Structure 1
Amino acid sequence: MLAVKIYSRAYIDTAEKRYAALLETLSDDTPPAVCNHLALALDRYFLHRLRSSEGGDGNALNELRMIADGVAECGGVMTRDATIDYRPEDSVLGIAIGSELALRPADLKKLAKSVFAEVRKRFT
Structure 2
Amino acid sequence: MLAEGTYDAGAVADYRAQIEAQVAAWDQLYAELSTDSTPGVDVLEAFEPTYFAALLQSLELRFVHRLRAKEGKDGNALNEVRLLAESFISNDGRLLADKQIKLDPERSVLGLNPGDDVVLRRDDFMRLVWAFFLEIETRYTQS
**Shorter-chain TM-score tier:** over 0.9
Q: Are 1:87 and 2:125 counterparts?
A: no
* Structure label with greater radius of gyration: 2
Gaps of 5+ in 2: 31-43
The 3-state SS of whatever aligns with 1:31 is helix
Among 106, 116, 120, the alignment partner of 1:103 is 120
Give the equivalent residue in structure 2 for 1:69.
86
* Post-superposition offset of 1:16: 0.4
The number of residue pairs the alignment matches comes to 124
Aligned-pair CA distance for 1:31: 2.5
Query: Taking every aligned residue pair, what percent have the same amino acid on both sides?
Result: 34
Q: Secondary structure at the match of 2:116?
A: coil
- Bigger helix share: 2
My pick for the range that moved more, 36-45 or 109-118, is 36-45
Question: What amino acid does structure 2 have at the position aligned with 1:12?
Answer: V
Runs of 4+ in 1 over 2 A off after TM superposition: none
**What's the TM-score once normalised by structure 1's chain length?**
0.95
Q: Deviation of residue 41 (structure 1)?
A: 0.8
* Partner in structure 1 of residue 95 of structure 2: 78
Matches of residues 20-31 of structure 1 in structure 2 within 5 Å?
20-26=20-26, 27=30, 29=45, 30-31=47-48
Offset at 1:94?
0.7
Give unmatched runs, 5+ long, in structure 1: none
